[in-house]
Structure 1
Amino acid sequence: MANLKEVRNRITSVQSTQQITKAMKMVAAAKLRRAQDNILRMRPYAQRLNSILSNLTALAGDEVESEYGVVRDVRRVLVIAITSDRGLAGAFNSNVFKAVNVLAQSRYAEQAATGNLTVMAIGKKAHDYFGKRGPLLGSYQHVFGKLSFDTVREAAEQAMDGFRAGDYDEVTMVYNEFRNVATQVIRVEQLLPLVPAEQPANVPTTNVDYIFEPSQDDIMQTLIPQSLKIQLYKAVLESNASEHGARMTAMDKATENAGELLKELKLTYNRTRQAAITTEILEIVGGAEALAASR
């Protein structure tokens, strides 16, 4: 059984840890509110932009061709892995690592075996993990410190330029989608080439006469790159909100575990203290009896 000093030291250590996890939970909750507001505002805009793009693409048919919609034999692949800059968020980052590894072993097994699978790591954790396993495209380790569209646009343009140049035949994003504080879902989405949106079967089609200003081709060539950048930015915002939700949940659980451990340590401390007192009393009684017997 541990002595009283060791138990007291452990109690002090656990109490300090509990205070830290409480503070981290509060910080994550404050950041989550802002991140959640950002993604809730972004979702309608991204959905509406994709809807407009789908309508115009369906209207144009084969009249307008985009360099981002060219379908080629998939020989070279770029996977954009989106994680956080910091840890202590439960399985948030490891789930992305597992999803990318599953892609490399199943869907892109041939490309990975021939060294034609490249990773763009957004977030320091992804940079550290995948950087040890091969070369990375770009360096986006600290985008979440001052998260903005301009930073993400740079990453999107680099991926889009690589696709146009033929360096990559397919670009796929892997990230955590925010559902609620306790739920984050891994999403694997193809960014390039463009995939036509599926129209629901129960929605009737309508013929709309659009007036284009400037030309239809100019609008499509502007709208498509903007839509791709918005898609990546939305994925980063989803990951940012998911990170704070995962960290808040993890720190809440850690605080509860620290509380349970404190109860056990205090019980152990009281038992140890009681045993020490009992031992001292027995020693005193035994010594008194020995003195009485020697007289």
Structure 2
Amino acid sequence: MASLKALKIRIGSVKSTQKITKAMKMVAAAKLRRAQSNAESGRPYSARLSDVVSSLASRITVGPQSPRLIAGTGAEQRHLIVLASGDRGLAGAFNTNIVRAARRAADELIAQGRQVSFYLVGRKARPVIGRFYPGQIVGQFDTSEMKNPSYAEAQAIAAEIIERFESGQFDVAHLAYSNFRSVLAQEPTVDQIIPVRPAAANDSAASGASAAVEYEPDEEDILAALLPRNVAVQIYRALLENQAGFYGSQMTAMDNATRNAGDMINRLSIQYNRQRQAAITTELVEIISGAEAL
């Protein structure tokens, strides 16, 4: 059984931890507002750009002159998963859920006889991916110094991914990230970003894209300019969604940690008071027994 001094030291230690977790919760809550606003603001643009590119892709006939980002390589054997995770922990299962979604997608592709490689954005995914898929990490983009995602960084990532695609290192690219829904809900998502998937006929009809439209210049020239930008925008959106999801998960995790610390303090305080009362009672009994002996 722990001594009174040891219990008192432990109670003080837990109280210090509780102050830290409470402060981290408040900081995460303050940062979440801006991150959530950025993520929500970026969704309409990225969704609309993706719809426009998919609609254009469905209108052209793929040929030798078509942009490779839409025509592809003519094969689907080699797949690259661009896995965007965080650089820090203390956010519950945020990073774990993204990695699990990417692993699930990779395992499905491997089961179909495909070759899978990984390009990592952020540090937290590397230990797990390196353990389960040794030798399959082909690159990594360091975001440890990135306080807030910027479009310039998304462009840099997209440029490297497109360069690898143009050099024939893979046939299909997927983007794995956490889609922010609410503070308590983040949805790990894996989307194909290269080559662009043409819009389905029913999707085009539903969005009104089936109307007669004339393009100047033609669709292929427009696509050649829009396709690299679309990849960068989708990566930028993933970074924004990840940041909002991270702060939401961290706020929830720190709130739970603060509550757990409070419960532990209560239990330790009860144990401390009981042992202290037992010690006092023992001393009183000894004093009374000594007085009676005299």
TM-score (norm. length: structure 2): 0.89
- The alignment status of 1:102 with 2:104, answered yes or no, reads yes
Quote how far apart the aligned CAs of 1:145 are. 2.5
Instruction: In structure 2, give the amino acid aligned to 1:200.
Output: D
Distance 1:18 1:118 in 2: 41
Distance 2:185 2:122 in 1: 20
Structure 1 unaligned blocks of 5 or more: none
Quote how far apart the aligned CAs of 1:110 are. 6.2
Higher mean C-alpha displacement, 242-251 vs 42-51: 42-51
Higher mean C-alpha displacement, 90-99 vs 34-43: 90-99
* Contact kept? 1:122, 1:143, Cα under 8 Å: no
Indicate how the Cα distance of structure 1 residues 128 and 164 shifts in structure 2: closer, same or farther if over 3 A, else same.
same
Q: Which residue of the other structure, out of 266, 269, 277, is the alignment partner of 2:272? A: 269
Higher mean C-alpha displacement, 216-225 vs 51-60: 51-60
Instruction: In structure 2, give the amino acid aligned to 1:219.
Output: I
* Contact kept? 1:111, 1:117, Cα under 8 Å: no
Aligned position for 2:29: 29
Q: How many residues align?
A: 287
Distance 1:26 1:121 in 2: 30
* Contact kept? 2:204, 2:210, Cα under 8 Å: no
Q: Which residue of the other structure, out of 212, 224, 230, is the alignment partner of 1:221? A: 224
- The alignment status of 1:253 with 2:256, answered yes or no, reads yes
Aligned 1:94-173 pairs, distance under 5 A? 94-109=96-111, 116-131=115-130, 133-134=134-135, 135-142=137-144, 144-173=146-175
Instruction: In structure 1, give the amino acid aligned to 2:188.
Output: I
Distance 1:256 1:11 in 2: 15
Indicate how the Cα distance of structure 1 residues 58 and 170 shifts in structure 2: closer, same or farther if over 3 A, else same.
closer
Q: Secondary structure at the match of 2:109?
A: coil
Distance 1:86 1:207 in 2: 48
Distance 1:210 1:196 in 2: 18
Q: Residue by residue, what CA displacement relative to the aligned partner does 1:204-235 show, whole Å, maximum 9, x if unpaired?
A: 664233241x4443222101111111111111
* Contact kept? 2:28, 2:250, Cα under 8 Å: yes
* Contact kept? 1:39, 1:241, Cα under 8 Å: yes
Instruction: In structure 2, give the amino acid aligned to 1:270.
Output: N
Aligned position for 1:66: 67
Aligned 1:51-90 pairs, distance under 5 A? 51-62=51-62, 65-69=66-70, 70=72, 72-90=74-92
Distance 1:228 1:56 in 2: 15
* Contact kept? 1:76, 1:111, Cα under 8 Å: no
Q: Secondary structure at the match of 1:125?
A: coil
Q: Secondary structure at the match of 1:138?
A: strand
Q: Which residue of the other structure, out of 224, 232, 235, is the alignment partner of 1:232? A: 235
Aligned position for 1:278: 281
Aligned 1:8-47 pairs, distance under 5 A? 8-47=8-47
TM-score (norm. length: structure 1): 0.89
